[in-house]
Amino acid sequence: MAGAGLDANRLNVPEARFPMIGVRRFWRLAIEATGDPLLGLRLGEEVQPATLHGLGLAILACGSLSELMSLVARYATVLSTTMYISLRHDAGGSALVVNTLGGSEMNHAARIAMLAFVYRQACKLSQRQVIPSFVTLGMPPAPGTERLDQYFHVPVTLGAEADAIGFTYADTIEPYASANTMLVGLNEKAIRDYLSRLERSLFSDRVLTQIQDMLPSGEPKLVDVATHLGLSVRTLQRKLRQENQSFQALLDQVRRTLASDWLSHGNLAVVEIGYRLGFSDPSNFCRACHRWFCCSPSEYRQRCLQLVT
């Protein structure tokens, strides 16, 4: 987490969230550290429902696979504000489709974890081996991916357009013996209360994401970010002040994280990295690196290479 620029102390704060850019860097570092390209599958195999706030508890009390899929699709933001999940229906059955804003983390790890978790709960609550009608993943074929086939009990299609899992209608409408409508309702209320509080506290994360999206076109301006978010400049500044943040500090945070990523992993020229971070003058990028890393961009890259060696 330290390597990804994430503050581990925030793990003990129930409503704290981590910026998308840091979480995706964390996934990459974790996959590299474990040497497991399917680390997301391992997470889906092991995560316990009770750790997922009221959503996990509602899942344990739901009445069918159809209700389980609906809960996950409806309340995906409990798990991640950058993940959105949709339900798709056709003549063959229902499917859960997982997407994330601004692309995906390495090897689609978080999406695979979500699909693996849903599948595991489907089998546990049915008290039998449920066989999906299909599983598709956007990650490209790679050595070791046969583990996916073994876990889902069907041939998993890789390099697909969507990360999705499908079930027949017979499986989705089968009633669960553990169903408890009252508990589902109570936990849904807890989820809605939680999301309401979360919505009020995550404005700076929305600004961070917008800054990151706009950087390739040059240095994002406050007025442009405000326009994209449908706000006036004064409203945006006021909302950031309420979270003890400033636009310039968020811009600097995104630039620092991306600079560290691109200098330590990748072959982009230093000048190209500076331009991608919105610095029109290479000397400005060099000064920023001295402020962030106490050295020049080239020196920081060399330092990282030596650490890897």
pLDDT bucket at 307, cuts 50 / 70 / 90:
low
pLDDT bucket at 309, cuts 50 / 70 / 90:
very low
Taking the domains of the chain in order of start, what are their residue ranges?
Answer: 8-197, 202-308
How do residues 190-214 score in pLDDT, each as one tens digit? Answer: 999 888 777 666 688 788 888 888 8
Predicted confidence at residue 147, as pLDDT, reads 95
Answer positive or negative: Cα dihedral of 226, 227, 230, 231.
Answer: positive
How do residues 295-304 score in pLDDT, each as one tens digit? Answer: 999 998 888 7
Largest Cα span, the chain: 66
| pLDDT tops 70 at residue 49 | yes
How do residues 5-21 score in pLDDT, each as one tens digit? Answer: 888 887 877 677 787 88
Q: Determine the average pLDDT of the residues in 152-181.
A: 95
How do residues 73-119 score in pLDDT, each as one tens digit? Answer: 999 888 887 888 999 998 889 999 999 877 888 999 999 999 999 99
Mean pLDDT, the chain, integer: 89
Q: Which CATH number fits domain 202-308: 1.10.1370.40, 2.40.128.20, 3.90.1150.10, 1.10.10.60?
A: 1.10.10.60
Q: For the chain, give the DSSP string.
A: -TTTT--GGGGGSTT----HHHHHHHHHHHHHHHT-TTHHHHHHHH--GGGSHHHHHHHHH-SBHHHHHHHHHHTGGGT-TTEEEEEEEETTEEEEEEEETTS--GGGHHHHHHHHHHHHHHHHHHTS----SEEE-SSPP-TTTHHHHHHHTSPPBPS-SSEEEEEEHHHHHPBPTT--HHHHHHHHHHHHHHHHHHHHH-HHHHHHHHHHHHGGGSSPPHHHHHHHTT--HHHHHHHHHHTT--HHHHHHHHHHHHHHHHHHSS---HHHHHHHTT-SSHHHHHHHHHHHHSS-HHHHHHHHHHHH-
Share of the chain above pLDDT 90, in %: 58
Predicted confidence at residue 308, as pLDDT, reads 41
Q: Determine the average pLDDT of the residues in 45-50.
A: 92
Please indicate, yes or no, whether the overall pTM of this predicted structure exceeds 0.85.
no
Share of the chain above pLDDT 70, in %: 96
How do residues 109-161 score in pLDDT, each as one tens digit? Answer: 999 999 999 999 999 999 999 999 999 999 988 888 999 999 999 999 999 99
